[in-house]
Chain A
């Protein structure tokens, strides 16, 4: 039941932050000069009268707090508003793309943690050797290559590897059987996922190495060894288990880095996710869409953090008991 209360507190906290984020982004964007309709105003084919009518129709002429409350109320009911640019309800636009972003980030997250923890553990076990140095050098190199540049370099490689250079499916994929479609998806996913993984990897490697180094020195490891426990058991059961605690905190932070990296990767590699949609919405000044997407990205971040907390609870129940 402790966990239930802990989760409830986290959810309330997340809700409060989301509300503030919503208000903040609405405030910023609501004051923006030159929204989509202003841009239309410079079009000689659109008369001032029809512009005024559109303003009324979309509720743009009402005072700020009414607009915000309206938006919030309809938003909670699942209606995210209407995109001026796409001429479609925003909820449809988002639901088409959000799973693409979740898929890309999910795959990258799992890959980064699987590779990162392995490399970090190996480096900690081989402290001071050439392997340790090599892993450290790789982490430093990767941390120095920003997402934009990783994406560009991987795209350059794409042609050589015979991988597609954008999108998430081949034009004829509809005709393929399920297995073929999945293979096609995997081929399209490979590069964007590799790019996001490369951005996340160094932090995971470094933190794992540091945490493992510390736990390997601990007294209980010596005790376990003295009891005659095998190497594998000591490593997984005693050392890694205890090293997990600081790592799960990193998980929360890595979700934030993940979303930022995936926005850039999505744009450069034309992966049709919400990052790309956000970029598009900003360029085309589709302001309501921008606000919705900013809140949505905060929501994804909170979800990631809560998953991180749950993992932390599973790894070390003491944390939620306080």
Chain B
């Protein structure tokens, strides 16, 4: 099991490296079209060949540092498509790398946002008690009793369909964060309730510490391990939501690639059966999820 977990961590590390520097890992810019090769099967075409670690099309690392070094670069006319090409002859592998940026980086940010919200609200509910507690927990119950995907889709209807990519990212981020706080808030409230009765907390209060200090200095450190486990456990759900929304055309849309909208063409049955390499992003999703679940199970197990 330990081996498996290490392998899972390695896989996640690789996925996140790709997400952070997609240009380095991919031979082409994500939107570059090769009109001569629509739906080309994986392989080399024309006189093109792949060279390792060479200068290619310039790009900006992390969006700021100018660079042109690529792990894979293409020389010669024609094209090299490690995972085939799409309708416009865009390299699926390059788009997969760039899709990782959106799909893998947005979700943890949204999870952190909703965990922060949950810590604040759950902490407040547990610490204050009384009607504050009742109000926050009832509100949480409502959020928990929503059929969440219907709701995400319905809320999406409240915004124009053709948003800019940046606005869409922000929208999904806020939507996911705001809907996901309820379950972890319950957990944190319970923990705060039990911490309140602990002697070190009582001692600190007896010494005159205010609620903010008691919470941040004495309770928060005890809550963080639970928050870490929650982060790993809930991350897949957040990634799925972005992928599903983008797949349906309600999330991030073309030309920005995400693992969700890369799968959209597969809604046409012809594409699904005739060009199976278009399913590559699906396998990327499943691989990352398997790794995440393996890692999360490890984090949920009690330490010896």
Contacts and interface: CB of A to CB of B under 8 A. Distances in A.
A221 interface: no
Interface string B142-159: 100111111101111111
Given A25-B154, A263-B149, A278-B150, A32 B159 contact: yes
Nearest to A259: B147
Contact of B145 (A31, A264, A283, A305): A305
Interface residues of B, number: 43
B131 interface: no
Interface in B239-284: 240, 243-244, 247-250, 260, 263, 266-267, 269, 272-273, 276, 279, 282
B19 to A, nearest CB: 18
Interface string A122-161: 0000000000000000001101111111001101100100
A264 B142 contact: no
Contacts of B151: 25, 294, 297
B161 A283 contact: yes
Interface string A246-290: 000000000010011101100110000001001101110101001
A33 interface: yes
Contacts of A149: 263, 282, 285-286
State the main secondary structure of chain B at its contact with A: helix
Contact of A260 (B148, B154, B292, B294): B148
A298 B241 CA distance: 18
Q: How large is the interface on A (under 10, 10 to 19, 20 to 34, 35 or more residues)?
A: 35 or more
A264 B246 CA distance: 12
A264 B148 CA distance: 12
B290 interface: yes
A291 interface: yes
A298 B279 CA distance: 33
Interface of B: 141-142, 145-151, 153-161, 236, 240, 243-244, 247-250, 260, 263, 266-267, 269, 272-273, 276, 279, 282, 285-286, 289-290, 292-294
14 contacts: A29-B157, A32-B158, A144-B290, A147-B240, A148-B260, A152-B272, A155-B272, A263-B153, A264-B244, A278-B150, A282-B157, A287-B157, A294-B150, A297-B147
- Interface pairs A-B: 6 shortest CB-CB: A260-B149, A144-B289, A297-B150, A294-B154, A259-B147, A297-B147
